[in-house]
Structure 1
Amino acid sequence: MTFRQFAFNNVMRNKRLYMAYFLSSAFAVMVFFVYGVFAFHPGLAPAEIGGTATIGLQIAQGLIYVFSFFFVLYSMSAFIKSRSKEFGLLTMFGITNMQLRRLVFIENMVIGLGATLTGIASGLVLVKLLLLAAESLIGIDEKLPFYMPYQALALTFAAFMLLFLFISLFTVLFFRGNNLIDLLKGSSKPRPEPHASIWLSLAALVLIGSGYGVSLAIDGLTVVYALLPVTVMVVVGTYFLFTQLSVYTIRALKRNREVFWRRTNLLFFSDLAYRMKDNARTFFLVTVLSTVAFSAIGALVGFKTVLMESIQRPFAFEYISYKDNSPERSAAAVDLIERELRAEGIGFTKLKAELRSYKLAGGNGAVMIVSESMYNSLAKAAGGKPLQLGANEAAVIQFSKEKDEKGESTGERELALEGGGEPLQITQSAAFFITGYSKYYVVDDDRFARLPAPQSSEGYYAFDVHNLEATEAVGQRLHDKIGRSQNDSFFSLAFDVKQLLQSYSAVMFVGLFVGAVFFVASGSFLYFRLYTDLADDKAKFASIMKLGLTSRELSKIVTRQMAILFFLPIAIALIHGAVALTAMQSMFHYTLVKESAIVLSAFAIIQIVYFMFIRSGYLRQLRSDMTG
């Protein structure tokens, strides 16, 4: 048997140990390849969707590649550490240090080649389904047919083989400075009891608490300026939480006799202190990655809701003729809209309002005024409440998501116009939205007719239709013909929604993939860490069961330890993500409670299912040698 055959057989005989590493690496390759298929797809050219998707996919590819480097490096180092006894035996049988390094290099390249080919093959199988899904998600008109992605194939194969080559060369440095006795002892060497600093433990609470406090206290654009310092505070605090505060808390519980000596708690807490210390960096890494995934996806979902709410308007078509527009151009545009709608067989109701600009008395700015009848005709068509005003009364209409049709008071009492006679008493308020006018005033028709000549006048035309979905195509044609300029503007609700979704969904497509990669990676880190300690756990629990530990008690102890391993970092990440999304809510002045709850709950459910699956397999592995 040659040395290369020995290395290959070594991989095949360690399938369980290498399977997680192999599958996770293959998953990273597959995701990178799928991104490449989309990035190079001719149907996703910049001319088709404005370049948003292709640029986003290229950036995401870079992020995933950089992340894959650290991911594979961490995974490989964990595997080598778990195989230290095996390497010690090989050293004792005469293998040289250089041969040992060569063995690890060949093994890693074999796994890397297999993972790369498997990832590409899996991507080719799934890419058609993903292309079909992307058609709907990105919202382009053209279909995304399957094509042979030679560029993506070449880029993926070259990039990951280069990555595995570099990782393999870097990994062999692990053996420098390790002697035979250290390798043979592996993780069985006696370890001192973990200790923690009370000051660093307090620092964890102060840093995280301060970061939370600042995030929840600030408002508006201040959130952007506080983002970096708050992130640094929370990240550093999270590191101290796992490396110091968790160990300090366990030591404090061990000093409580009622807790420590209760049933199997002595065994549970004694082992937990070492596990927390050993897994502190893994917990920290999982928490940071999960927080990024939660925050990114939550922000994308929430931002989509904000954008969709901001673009919603009461009418399918709107046309605004500004003060400098000519009557001829305005009449031609309105006539064109009517003709296009009739040509498509779309029934409509045309509504019109004249908004006049007047100076406020005392030179304190200008306001827009509309008559009561014009306002009521628009409000009724949109399902809003009409107004009833007296001769000397006015209503203020100020559109805001924080105000509704109930008419929250704005604090204004009267409206005094320059040359407009007796001041009008503001007796009502509402929040009915007219595109382009977030705040205006409504006055009685008689008073409106008696007002002096305005500074300027603007015409607003609304076209109310019953079937909004049927207006997308005609809306696009009218948008191309009329458009938006300094003289007039045309708005089509169906077409504007399509444009927004098309641009935003491309970003959403990239964000969901990146978030999913980070979340899967965080779960893989936990999986690696768990199975790295499997051999030691088997020996430890086998010895304890000889002293009388029952199978049921074993399951209880392992389940509690695994629950902490899986849910502590995720729980911290969920709290971090909830605070981050709350701060974002303050920045947008928009409630994102529903969206945040959906995203965070989805991740929590996925983690519970993942935990139940891993727990079952791990307990089965633990019991296999004890009962076999």
Structure 2
Amino acid sequence: MTFRQFAFNNVLRNKRLYIAYFLSSMFTVMVFFTFAIFAFHPAFSGGSINENALFGMAVAGGIIYVFSFFFVLYSMSSFLQSRKKEFGLLMIQGASSGQIRLMVFLENILIGFVATVGGILAGLVFAKAILLIAENVLIINESLNFYFPTLAIVVTFISFIILFFFISVFVSFILRTKKLIDLIKGDKKSKGEPKASVILAVLAALLLIAGYGTALYVKGVQVVFALIPVIVVVTLGTYLLFTQLSVYIIRRLKNNKPIFWRKTNMLLFSDLSFRMKDNARTFFMVAIISTVAFSAIGTLYGFQSYLTTGVKQVNAYTYTYHPFLGDSEEVISQDIRTINSVLEEENVETKMEMMDLHYFDVMDDDSGILIVKASDYNRFAALIGEKEIQPNKNEVIVVEQSSAILMDGAKASETLIQTPIALENGQKVKPTQVIESEVLTEINGYYIVNDTIYDQLGNPIRSDMSAAWQADNVENDPIIEAGRKIEEQVPHKVFAVDYTIYEINKAYGPILFIGLFIGIVFFVSAGSFLYFRLFTDLDEDKRKFQAIAKIGLTQSELKKVVNRQIALLFLSPIVVALVHGAVALTALSHLFNYDLTMESSLVLGSFAVIQIIYFLIVRYFYVKQLKSAIS
């Protein structure tokens, strides 16, 4: 058997550890290759996607590449940790340190080569599906047809072969510092039960409470100023949570005899306490990486929802027309004929209403306050299904928009409700109630009065007009295309809400797409870290449970202990990350004064479900390995 065959057989014999490393590396290569397919797609050379999106993809590819370096490095260090005794035995049998380094180098090059080729092949298999998804998310007019991405293959292959080569060299260099005695006793040397400082444990709780409290308390622009301090405090608190507070809690539980001596709790707490020193840093890293993934994707998705929903809330009508100040009746009539002509051309059936807007001197304000008669309001309300209003004689209703600010930072309603309206005969009528409505949302607060009262207001100080069209039961594409043509032919006077949302999604799609892929890479990597930590200790667990089984541990008790142990080790950092992400997204909602509960629940819930499924799969194979060792 040659030395190369020996290295190859080593990979096969350690396939349990290498399979997670291989699949995670292959997934990373596939994601990078996907970005390369987009970047070099022939359709993009024609300008169907903006340069900022291409630049964003290039940056995302760079982030994935740099992150892949550290991910692979961490993965290899986990393998070396579990194979110390193997290296020591090889040295006893005459292998030199140079031969061991060469063996590790060849093993890593082999895994890296196969993972790179596998990632490229997987990318080619799923390329068309990914291109279809990208076509819809990026909202590209042209189809992203499948092509054979020769340049993308070359760039990906060379990039990751270089990455694995340098990782292999670096890992081989690390092995020179290990002494034989350390290698032989590497998996048997006790690192001792970790000690926990009461002061640091309390500090961890205080830091997390302070960070969470600040993030949830601040509103508006204060969120931006509190961002960096909160991140620093919560990050430090998270590190102390895993290194100090969790250890302290375990020790307290161990000292509680009714809990510690109950059934199999002694096995659970003793093992957790012993492992915590090694796992604490991994938990911290997984929690932070997962928090970044959750927060990034949640922020991008939430911000897109904020933009599109905000546009819809402020503009309830499909098309809204406002002429320029000073436009003649002839110009206005021509504009409306143009709009109707485009709608007819695109087969968009709409209902239309027009209203004269008159502003009156109510508060000695040169711009005046809009007063609308009930009949005009009801015509516009009927277009969008709003409830009609029938004010009594001498009754004045104030219409409030939630975002409307009139003067001195006060809401328009707060000022208008206290201001009576003077009539021509000298009589004054006082506002009686405030309502919220989507009618004329572009106006920052106005009055609605009975038609009889409206005729007694006198002459307005200025006048304007508004026209609105509401489409019914029409497909979205004609509405969007009509909006595009109308805004081109009647520029700066028409607001087409569906076309505006389409443009927002088109501009925002690449950012969301890139952020989603980077977040998924981070999340998968975090799950792989936990897998490596868990299976690195599998051989030691086998020996331990074999010994305990000899003194009466049953299969059901084994399964119960292992399930709890894996759940605590596998899910605790993810739970912390989910809490961090929920607080971060709540703070984001305070920044924009927009409820992100649905978006946050969708993002965090999706990741939680994925992680639970991952946990169930890992638990199944882990328990199966232990049961086979005991039987």
Match for 2:617 among 608, 613, 619? Answer: 613
- How far apart, CA to CA, are the structure 2 residues paired with 1:159 and 1:419? 79
8 Å Cα contact 1:397/1:442 also seen in 2: yes
8 Å Cα contact 2:318/2:498 also seen in 1: yes
Match of 1:227 in 2: 227
Secondary structure of the corresponding residue to residue 387 of structure 2: coil
The within-5 A match list for 1:111-122 is 111-122=111-122
8 Å Cα contact 2:194/2:247 also seen in 1: yes
C-alpha change, 1:39 and 1:175, in structure 2 (3 Å) is same
- How far apart, CA to CA, are the structure 2 residues paired with 1:475 and 1:302? 26
CA-CA distance at 1:52 after TM superposition: 5.0
8 Å Cα contact 2:368/2:461 also seen in 1: no
Secondary structure of the corresponding residue to residue 302 of structure 1: helix
8 Å Cα contact 1:204/1:245 also seen in 2: yes
C-alpha change, 1:358 and 1:151, in structure 2 (3 Å) is farther
Match of 1:340 in 2: 342
8 Å Cα contact 2:325/2:464 also seen in 1: yes
C-alpha distance after superposition, 1:186-229 (max 9, x if no partner): 22113322211111111110111100010111111211111111
Match of 1:385 in 2: 387
8 Å Cα contact 1:416/1:422 also seen in 2: no
C-alpha change, 1:345 and 1:17, in structure 2 (3 Å) is closer
- How far apart, CA to CA, are the structure 1 residues paired with 2:364 and 2:502? 45
Is it true that 1:542 corresponds to 2:542 in the alignment?
A: no
C-alpha change, 1:324 and 1:409, in structure 2 (3 Å) is closer
Match of 1:372 in 2: 374
Match for 2:514 among 510, 523, 527? Answer: 510
Match of 1:436 in 2: 442
- How far apart, CA to CA, are the structure 2 residues paired with 1:56 and 1:439? 41
8 Å Cα contact 1:396/1:441 also seen in 2: yes
**Structure 2 letter corresponding to 1:476:** R
CA-CA distance at 1:448 after TM superposition: 3.9
C-alpha distance after superposition, 1:149-202 (max 9, x if no partner): 233222212221221122112212322332111101122113322211111111
- How far apart, CA to CA, are the structure 2 residues paired with 1:573 and 1:95? 45
- How far apart, CA to CA, are the structure 2 residues paired with 1:506 and 1:45? 16
Secondary structure of the corresponding residue to residue 459 of structure 1: strand
C-alpha distance after superposition, 1:546-577 (max 9, x if no partner): 22222221111111110101111111111111
C-alpha change, 1:402 and 1:528, in structure 2 (3 Å) is farther
Identity of aligned residues (%): 46
Secondary structure of the corresponding residue to residue 139 of structure 1: coil
C-alpha change, 1:413 and 1:491, in structure 2 (3 Å) is closer
- How far apart, CA to CA, are the structure 1 residues paired with 2:455 and 2:44? 55
- How far apart, CA to CA, are the structure 1 residues paired with 2:17 and 2:184? 18
The within-5 A match list for 1:97-246 is 97-246=97-246
- How far apart, CA to CA, are the structure 2 residues paired with 1:619 and 1:261? 24
**Structure 2 letter corresponding to 1:465:** A
CA-CA distance at 1:330 after TM superposition: 2.2
Match of 1:318 in 2: 320
CA-CA distance at 1:10 after TM superposition: 2.3
**Structure 2 letter corresponding to 1:12:** L
- How far apart, CA to CA, are the structure 2 residues paired with 1:391 and 1:44? 64
CA-CA distance at 1:538 after TM superposition: 1.0
Match of 1:331 in 2: 333
Secondary structure of the corresponding residue to residue 395 of structure 1: strand
**Structure 2 letter corresponding to 1:482:** V
Match of 2:596 in 1: 592
- How far apart, CA to CA, are the structure 1 residues paired with 2:416 and 2:335? 37
CA-CA distance at 1:326 after TM superposition: 4.0
Match for 1:495 among 496, 499, 519? Answer: 499
Alpha-carbon RMSD: 2.5
C-alpha change, 1:424 and 1:152, in structure 2 (3 Å) is farther
8 Å Cα contact 2:421/2:430 also seen in 1: no
8 Å Cα contact 1:108/1:168 also seen in 2: yes
Is it true that 1:570 corresponds to 2:574 in the alignment?
A: yes
C-alpha change, 1:262 and 1:175, in structure 2 (3 Å) is same
8 Å Cα contact 1:353/1:370 also seen in 2: no
- How far apart, CA to CA, are the structure 1 residues paired with 2:360 and 2:73? 69
- How far apart, CA to CA, are the structure 2 residues paired with 1:190 and 1:529? 17
- How far apart, CA to CA, are the structure 1 residues paired with 2:404 and 2:360? 27
Match for 2:607 among 592, 600, 603? Answer: 603
- How far apart, CA to CA, are the structure 2 residues paired with 1:394 and 1:190? 81
Match for 2:356 among 344, 354, 357? Answer: 354
Secondary structure of the corresponding residue to residue 245 of structure 1: helix
- How far apart, CA to CA, are the structure 1 residues paired with 2:449 and 2:606? 50
> Aligned pairs, how many?
620
Match of 2:409 in 1: none
**Structure 1 letter corresponding to 2:370:** M
8 Å Cα contact 2:207/2:237 also seen in 1: yes
8 Å Cα contact 1:84/1:184 also seen in 2: yes
Secondary structure of the corresponding residue to residue 181 of structure 1: helix
Secondary structure of the corresponding residue to residue 187 of structure 1: coil
- How far apart, CA to CA, are the structure 1 residues paired with 2:579 and 2:503? 35
C-alpha change, 1:346 and 1:556, in structure 2 (3 Å) is closer
TM-score (norm 1): 0.93
- How far apart, CA to CA, are the structure 1 residues paired with 2:42 and 2:487? 26
Match of 1:466 in 2: 472
- How far apart, CA to CA, are the structure 2 residues paired with 1:415 and 1:322? 29
C-alpha distance after superposition, 1:279-317 (max 9, x if no partner): 101111111111122222222332233223212233222
CA-CA distance at 1:23 after TM superposition: 1.1
Match for 1:533 among 533, 537, 540? Answer: 537
C-alpha change, 1:97 and 1:326, in structure 2 (3 Å) is farther
- How far apart, CA to CA, are the structure 2 residues paired with 1:191 and 1:202? 25
- How far apart, CA to CA, are the structure 2 residues paired with 1:126 and 1:282? 32
Match of 1:476 in 2: 484
- How far apart, CA to CA, are the structure 2 residues paired with 1:364 and 1:222? 34
Secondary structure of the corresponding residue to residue 355 of structure 2: strand
C-alpha distance after superposition, 1:447-505 (max 9, x if no partner): 44454554432221111222342422222211222222xxxx21223322222222233
- How far apart, CA to CA, are the structure 1 residues paired with 2:540 and 2:205? 33
Secondary structure of the corresponding residue to residue 145 of structure 1: coil
Secondary structure of the corresponding residue to residue 553 of structure 1: helix
Structure 2 unaligned blocks of 5 or more: 406-411
Structure 1 range deviating more: 577-586 or 297-306:
297-306
8 Å Cα contact 1:376/1:387 also seen in 2: yes
8 Å Cα contact 1:414/1:424 also seen in 2: no
- How far apart, CA to CA, are the structure 2 residues paired with 1:177 and 1:370? 84
**Structure 2 letter corresponding to 1:432:** S
CA-CA distance at 1:435 after TM superposition: 5.0
CA-CA distance at 1:83 after TM superposition: 0.6
Match of 2:408 in 1: none
Structure 1 range deviating more: 41-50 or 411-420:
411-420
8 Å Cα contact 2:398/2:417 also seen in 1: no
Structure 1 unaligned blocks of 5 or more: none
CA-CA distance at 1:139 after TM superposition: 2.4
Secondary structure of the corresponding residue to residue 461 of structure 1: strand
CA-CA distance at 1:124 after TM superposition: 0.7
